[in-house]
């Protein structure tokens, strides 16, 4: 439990640099209405990154319409997903702008494009960066200590990149060559690293996406690498061995380089890594150093050449990402083949946080280059990398309900065959940083669509399929969300999510339905009520009661189905952190909630359950709309509930508020809000000023990292519940 801090006039919050006024399309509405953003000037950047990694997107609707016509949705596609997978971040149309805030993003390089209606891709005209092989892509950099070698070197301290043009047969080809600062055409020559792209890739990808120049510049400036030339070539082509030899000759003719295999290294990504390995295994007299970054070599390795390979190769180092990397299983087979053949190699371990993408390959390059052309003492895996655990094989198509949750948080989704004619299928879930929403594209697998996503942190996740821009329920998943029929849920177990997991059967409290008459809505309504383990309706002392409200677009079922209220309360009770209480979760969708609560819900709860009528033994809290309703009750009936809390909600006007009565009658007023990605953040911060000016006492322990969503509100309940009825 965190330590509370009291904030009054002169409030100051650390780490808050800007406001967000947007949220991913499709999320529930809120009572507080924010002003629409003003139209941006033509040269106003579409993307801005705060010091703490929050990334704001603001795309003028007029530009989208001019270039792509009328569209129903706009997303930013980029490497934002788990393991830096390609994902889609949905923007919200507000006034003249499509906007959204994502983050905090891990330090590193991100590539992106803007896309309307799945197929209408656009280059950001306000971003001068580009990716030569992907004309619609732009990039942005999130700085941080873990990405310091990806940052630009100080002016004048870097090397140079130039184009080498040469002929191979009747064809003119080119490569990129990095020379270190102070390169001399005379004197002692330089060793050479030949760096290859994957099939379909371009040499420029190593600069635009791999940050190779920055990596070499920074390693060189730190004297962490031997001075060398780096020659970067395109992806595969026929007769690769001949073309590599011709490239070696062209480099030797043009530059001051050392000849002989001891001064030659080769590495590559994906198929480029495969070719690099094959070159060394079949011709060990050509390169003394080889690196395979997500290489896909699967053919058998003959032990007949092991002696020659081991004699001629000073370093053979293998790299792979996690199970989302197609090279994961190939690497598992390759290491076994090399072991059987007696070929010496090093393995960098499994990168747990990246798949087959440039974020992983940047790390591979940073690890590999300092090992070249000199002796090193460290031959083990990178910090945090783990062993191979055998091949990763999700269940065969159609054999199990999805999603399939494997160990280490990797989750495989698979559709039924009903979408075999679809053009674009994604899974939209709360797996972006701190519970924001991203769409992960699925790939065709026969007449189904499938993808493996991860690793996901232990937590509770909810998702829907998006099929050709329409929300669809995953019918293979039996879970349901009553207020959102297209949603399904799944749970990734782990210690961090213990409070959201089910307690052992028979040890938790009970959740039952309570029907009551609503004179406000003129109908019978239902609430869900949690009673603690051992609830005794005949005990001498009535139980304290906690009224817990949902948000707009939701209903009384949401705190159980989405908020995991039962699991949270069960665990906290069994842990001894919770005062035994009754928790009432009712339907707040009425025109006059204050009247509904006091005249209908509270009397019904007292009639059915053994709960207290003493204000000091009553609590009221709500999220979003429910938080606004909670504030309304607090203003109109100060002291009626001694414990009050609001999650992601604004206080509203202070006119006519009796601050003294609130202070006298309230033992605890505790406020919560998400971070910049929570679109009520601006109105919440304005509320603190109002509350401070009124002189109302309250607690606010800072933002809860995350958006206007259940990840934040679950954490708010976890923090609040143990504080109730203890003063």
pLDDT tens digit sequence for 278-309? 989 988 889 999 999 999 998 888 887 899 99
Beta strands in 120-159 (DSSP E): 120-122, 138-142
Poorest-pLDDT segment among 69-73, 81-85, 396-400, 446-450: 396-400
| pLDDT confidence band for 237 (50 / 70 / 90) | low
**Whole-angstrom distance, CA of residue 168 vs CA of residue 202:** 18
pTM over 0.85: yes
Tell me the average pLDDT across 58-78.
97
Residue 722 has pLDDT above 70, yes or no: yes
Which pLDDT does position 400 carry in this prediction? 81
Domains annotated on the chain, with CATH: 47-143 (2.60.40.10), 159-355+366-371 (3.40.50.1820), 404-493 (2.60.40.10), 499-723 (3.40.50.1820)
Tokens 């994604």 sit on residue: 426
* pLDDT winner (highest mean) among 34-48, 232-246, 331-345: 331-345
C-alpha distance across the termini of the chain, in Å: 16
Which pLDDT does position 409 carry in this prediction? 95
Contacts of 56 (CB under 8 A, 6+ apart): 18, 20, 47, 48, 49, 50, 99, 100, 101
| pLDDT confidence band for 318 (50 / 70 / 90) | very high
Contact 212, 180 (CB under 8 A): no
Which pLDDT does position 42 carry in this prediction? 56
Show the tokens assigned to 357. 């993408």
Average model confidence (pLDDT) across the chain: 92
What is the percent of the chain with per-residue pLDDT over 90, rounded to a whole number? 86
Contact 60, 122 (CB under 8 A): no
Would you say the C-alpha torsion 529, 530, 536, 539 has a positive or negative sign?
negative
Which pLDDT does position 92 carry in this prediction? 96
Give 35 or 725, the one with higher predicted confidence. Answer: 725
Residue 41 has pLDDT above 60, yes or no: no
| pLDDT confidence band for 402 (50 / 70 / 90) | confident
Tokens 């209405």 sit on residue: 33
Residues in the chain: 727
Would you say the C-alpha torsion 606, 610, 614, 615 has a positive or negative sign?
negative
| pLDDT confidence band for 238 (50 / 70 / 90) | very low
**Whole-angstrom distance, CA of residue 706 vs CA of residue 703:** 9
Poorest-pLDDT segment among 252-261, 296-305, 390-399, 688-697: 296-305
Ordered DSSP codes for 155-204: TT-S-EEEEEEEEETTEEEEEEEEE-TT--SSSS-B-EEEEE--TT--TT
Tell me the average pLDDT across 668-693.
96
Q: How far is CA 180 from CA 155, 176, 225, 262, in A?
A: 14, 13, 10, 20
Tokens 């679809």 sit on residue: 422
Residue 332 has pLDDT above 90, yes or no: yes
Tell me the average pLDDT across 222-233.
96
Show the tokens assigned to 705. 């990292």
For the chain, state the CA radius of gyration: 30
Which pLDDT does position 25 carry in this prediction? 31
Tell me the average pLDDT across 313-332.
96
Tell me the average pLDDT across 569-589.
98
Tell me the average pLDDT across 108-137.
97
Which pLDDT does position 580 carry in this prediction? 98
Which pLDDT does position 299 carry in this prediction? 81
**Whole-angstrom distance, CA of residue 322 vs CA of residue 352:** 5
Quick one: how far is CA 7 from the chain centroid?
A: 32
Residue 140 DSSP SS3: strand
Of 171, 706, 122, the closest CA to residue 459 belongs to 706
Show the tokens assigned to 465. 């399929």
pLDDT, tens only, 592-635: 999 999 999 999 999 999 999 999 999 999 999 999 999 999 99
Residue 5 has pLDDT above 80, yes or no: no
Give 351 or 727, the one with higher predicted confidence. Answer: 351
Which pLDDT does position 236 carry in this prediction? 61
């Amino acid at each position: 439990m965190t330590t509370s801090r009291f904030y009054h006039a002169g409030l100051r919050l650390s780490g808050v640099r800007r406001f967000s006024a947007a949220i991913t399309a499709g999320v529930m509405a809120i009572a507080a209405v924010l002003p629409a953003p003003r139209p941006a000037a033509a040269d106003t950047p579409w993307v801005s990154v705060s010091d703490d990694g929050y990334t704001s997107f603001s795309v003028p609707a007029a530009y989208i319409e001019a270039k792509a016509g009328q569209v129903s949705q706009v997303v930013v596609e980029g490497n934002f997903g788990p393991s830096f997978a390609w994902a889609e971040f949905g923007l919200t149309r507000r006034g003249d702008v499509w906007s959204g805030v994502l983050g905090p993003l891990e330090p590193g390089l991100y590539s992106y494009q803007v896309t309307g209606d799945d197929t209408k891709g656009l280059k950001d005209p306000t971003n001068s960066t580009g990716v030569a092989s992907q004309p619609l892509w732009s990039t942005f950099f999130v700085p941080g200590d873990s990405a310091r070698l990806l940052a630009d070197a100080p002016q004048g301290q870097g090397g140079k990149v130039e184009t080498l043009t040469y002929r191979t047969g009747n064809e003119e080809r080119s490569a990129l060559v990095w020379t270190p600062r102070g390169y001399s055409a005379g004197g002692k020559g330089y060793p050479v690293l030949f760096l290859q792209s994957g099939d379909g890739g371009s040499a420029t990808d190593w600069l635009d996406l791999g940050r190779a120049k920055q990596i070499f510049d920074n390693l060189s400036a730190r004297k962490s690498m031997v001075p060398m030339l780096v020659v970067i070539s395109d992806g595969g082509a026929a007769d690769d061995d001949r073309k590599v030899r011709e490239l070696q000759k062209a480099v030797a003719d043009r530059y001051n380089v050392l000849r002989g295999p001891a001064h030659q290294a080769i590495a590559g990504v994906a198929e480029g890594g495969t070719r690099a390995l094959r070159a060394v295994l079949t011709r060990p007299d050509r390169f003394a150093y080889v690196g395979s970054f997500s290489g896909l070599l699967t053919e058998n390795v003959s032990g007949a050449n092991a002696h020659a390979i081991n004699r001629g190769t000073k370093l053979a180092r293998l790299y792979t990402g996690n199970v989302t990397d197609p090279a994961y299983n190939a690497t598992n087979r390759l290491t076994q083949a090399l072991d059987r053949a007696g070929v010496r190699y090093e393995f960098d371990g499994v990168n747990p946080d990246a798949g087959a993408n440039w974020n992983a390959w940047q790390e591979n390059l940073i690890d590999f280059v300092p090992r070249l052309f000199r002796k090193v003492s460290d031959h083990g895996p990178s910090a945090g990398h783990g062993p191979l655990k055998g091949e990763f094989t999700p269940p065969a198509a159609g054999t199990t309900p999805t999603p399939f949750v494997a160990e280490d948080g990797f989750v495989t989704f698979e559709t039924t065959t009903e979408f075999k004619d679809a053009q674009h299928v994604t899974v939209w879930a709360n797996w972006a940083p701190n519970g924001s929403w991203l769409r992960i594209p699925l790939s065709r697998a026969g007449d189904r669509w499938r993808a493996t996503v991860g690793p996901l942190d232990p937590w509770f996740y909810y998702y829907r399929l998006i099929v050709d821009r329409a929300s669809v329920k995953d019918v293979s998943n039996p879970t349901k969300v009553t207020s959102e029929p297209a949603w399904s849920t799944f749970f990734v177990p782990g210690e961090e999510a213990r409070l959201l997991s089910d307690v052992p059967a028979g040890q938790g409290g009970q959740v039952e339905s309570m029907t009551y008459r609503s004179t406000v809505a003129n109908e019978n309504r239902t609430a869900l009520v949690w009673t603690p383990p051992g609830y005794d309706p005949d005990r001498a002392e009535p139980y304290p009661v906690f009224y817990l409200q949902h948000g707009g677009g939701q209903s009384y079922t949401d705190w159980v189905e989405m908020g995991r209220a039962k699991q949270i309360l069960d665990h906290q009770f069994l842990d001894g952190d919770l005062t035994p209480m009754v928790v009432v979760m009712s339907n707040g969708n009425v025109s006059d909630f204050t009247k509904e609560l006091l005249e209908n819900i509270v009397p019904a709860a007292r009639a059915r359950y053994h709960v207290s009528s003493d204000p000091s033994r009553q609590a009221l809290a709500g999220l979003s709309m429910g938080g606004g309703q909670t504030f309304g009750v607090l203003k109109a009936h100060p002291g009626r509930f001694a414990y009050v809390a609001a999650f992601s909600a604004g206080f509203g006007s202070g006119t006519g508020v009796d601050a003294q009565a609130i202070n006298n009658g309230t033992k605890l007023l505790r406020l919560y809000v998400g971070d910049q990605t929570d679109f009520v953040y601006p109105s919440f911060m304005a509320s603190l000023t109002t509350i401070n000016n009124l002189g109302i006492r309250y607690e606010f322990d800072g933002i809860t990292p995350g958006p206007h969503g259940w990840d934040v509100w679950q954490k708010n309940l976890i923090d609040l519940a143990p504080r109730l009825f203890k003063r």
